[in-house]
Amino acid sequence: MGHRTAGITPALNDYASMRQHTAAGSATLAWAEIVDGEEIPGRESDAPAVRALTELAFTTAAWDDDLFSYGKELWFARRERTPSPCRLNLVDILRHEYGHSYEQALREAGQLCDRLTLRFVELRDRVLTRASAPLSAYLDHLSHLIPGNLAWGLAADRYRNPDGRSPDAVTTSGSTTSTPPKDTSPVPIPSVAWWWDPGLGA
């Protein structure tokens, strides 16, 4: 709200930290232990690797949402008399931060999501080798969150019918692959680069 009020687009580093808290990830997973009927031991739930996995899942889903909603945001922007200079979408933030073209920013946003997804899978598999049953169940929930959110986003009328009166005004498409991204290095974003700490899950 502060950025919207001031008409300022946040820096990528700030947005990466902020976005994981603005997509209802915590609210979505708050029920997990209640439904499963088992509490995750504190030594596991408080472990940095589990925190990293939680943040990775939430951020990946949120950035995927940014890609889903980008067409809708462009649709609305074309109809605004005075578009806001504040942009709160990963694609526009990459354009603002690096001076990318639309195509470059869109491609980089997709690559960032791929790199986060790969890191989630690698770290999850490492943590699972010593996880208790309740933690394994929680990690399973996180593992379903990412592809489940993708499936929902590709089918959601929310993104294809921007104002509720324009069916299929926006086309949303996507694909999945089992081929990992070529770049597996930590993303160059200080606030989240710790997710690649080699000591996590060791």
Write down the pLDDT at residue 23: 83
Which residues are within 8 A (CB) of 91 and not within 5 positions of it... i.e. 6 or more apart?
66, 67, 70, 102, 105, 106, 109
Write down the pLDDT at residue 59: 96
Which residues are within 8 A (CB) of 30 and not within 5 positions of it... i.e. 6 or more apart?
none
Write down the pLDDT at residue 4: 79
Can you identify the CATH homologous superfamily of domain 2-196? Farnesyl Diphosphate Synthase (1.10.600.10)
Residue ranges in the chain modelled with pLDDT below 50? none
Write down the pLDDT at residue 24: 82
The pair of structure tokens assigned to 88 is 């709160």
Write down the pLDDT at residue 146: 93
Closest CA to 70 of 117, 24, 25, 102: 102
